[in-house]
Structure 1
Amino acid sequence: MNLGPGMGLEGTLLQLMGIVVTEAAPERVVATMPVKGNTQPYGLLHGGASCVLAESLGSIGSALHAATYGKVAVGVDINATHHRAVRDGVVTGVATPIYLGRTTTSYEVVVTDERDKRVCTARITCQLIPAPPGT
């Protein structure tokens, strides 16, 4: 999925982690990520992997929103609470905006397992800055 200029996923961390974006708009971003390959030594989904998923979704939504102002989005804060362990399957992340402004955005990202049980809740804030020349 290409999300616009400079937003292709080839060669990115999303591709490396197997993240597949299935829906992308400023109002809602959805993606899946396999647990396999994204675990810590005990075989559980790595908390950092959940954070990568959350930051990616919030950043994509923020970037799509920023484009309406001729700006780009850069992450400035993320926090996450990990609720339950996951050992296999696929997790799904859904990012919805908390605030969409002209200079900042904030998204809540809920990560769930295949039983629709909440695995992680994260919040990401992005700053919207002028687009670099040539983007």
Structure 2
Amino acid sequence: MSGHKDTILEVCNASSKNTMMETLEIEYIDVGENFLVGKMPVTSKVHQPDGVLHGGAMVALAESVGSTASYIFLNAQEYYIRGIEISANHVKSVKEGFVFAKAVVVHRGRTTQLWEIKITNEANELVSICKLTTIALPKK
């Protein structure tokens, strides 16, 4: 995968054009055999009214990174990838800087996939932990 890493990240980032991922400034920065990492800036655009990162923005980051990971690790030429369930536990507030979401595959089935997405701050402290289930639907 190391030789293809830059190409995979370029394709992932290019696919974000004119989408919510671009609006939230999500950037894919690392990929490995069973994971994908994205980062998102924490600015007033993603704050809740009291000035901290909105939980919904974290869930959008987690689902974006997890769904893109499914796209990478499955045959996206033959399947549509859709998120079908996501849960999140937010454990720390963030006011500024960046957050990083690392999606790691827990189960890679032919039909459903389970991802654990840990969101951390710049000090590598856990901010949120999410679980995402995706489904692969055959293109007809």
Same topology, TM > 0.5? yes
Structure having the higher helix fraction is: 2
For these two proteins, the number of residue pairs brought into alignment is 130
User: Which residue is 1:84 aligned to?
Assistant: 92
CA distance in 2, matches of 1:26, 1:65: 9
Q: Does the 8 A contact of 2:107 with 2:113 survive in 1? A: yes
Kindly state the Cα deviation for residue 23 of structure 1 after the two structures are TM-superposed.
2.2
* Residue of structure 2 equivalent to 1:122: 130
Q: CA deviation at 1:61?
A: 1.0
CA 26–69 in structure 1, closer or farther in 2 if over 3 Å, else same: farther
Aligned match for 2:15, one of 8, 14, 19: 8
Specify the code of the residue in structure 2 equivalent to 1:29. L
1:51 aligns with 2:81: no
**Matching of residue 102 in structure 1 with residue 81 in structure 2:** no
After superposition, the Cα gap between the structure-2 partners of 1:3 and 1:20, relative to the gap in structure 1 and judged at 3 Å, is closer
Supply the AA of the counterpart residue of 1:79: S
The alignment yields a C-alpha RMSD, in angstroms, of: 1.8
Q: Is the 8 A contact 1:57 1:94 kept in 2?
A: yes
SS in 2 for 1:57: helix
| Contact 1:66–1:72 (CA under 8 A) maintained in structure 2 | no
Kept in 2: contact 1:69–1:102 (CA 8 A): no
Q: Which runs of 5+ in 1 are unaligned?
A: none
The one-letter code of the counterpart of 2:27 is V
Percent identity for Structure 1 against Structure 2: 30
String of CA shifts for 1:17-69, please: whole Å, max 9, x gaps. Answer: 01111124561110110110211011100000100010011101111222178
Match of 1:28 among 14, 35, 38: 35
Q: 1:3: how far off?
A: 3.1
CA deviations 1:96-118 (Å, max 9, x no partner) are 00100100101000000111110
CA distance in 2, matches of 1:61, 1:26: 10
Q: Is the CA contact (8 Å cut-off) linking 1:45 and 1:85 kept in structure 2? A: yes
TM-score w.r.t. length of structure 1: 0.89
Amino acid at match of 2:92: R
Instruction: Provide the TM-score with structure 2 as the length reference.
Output: 0.86
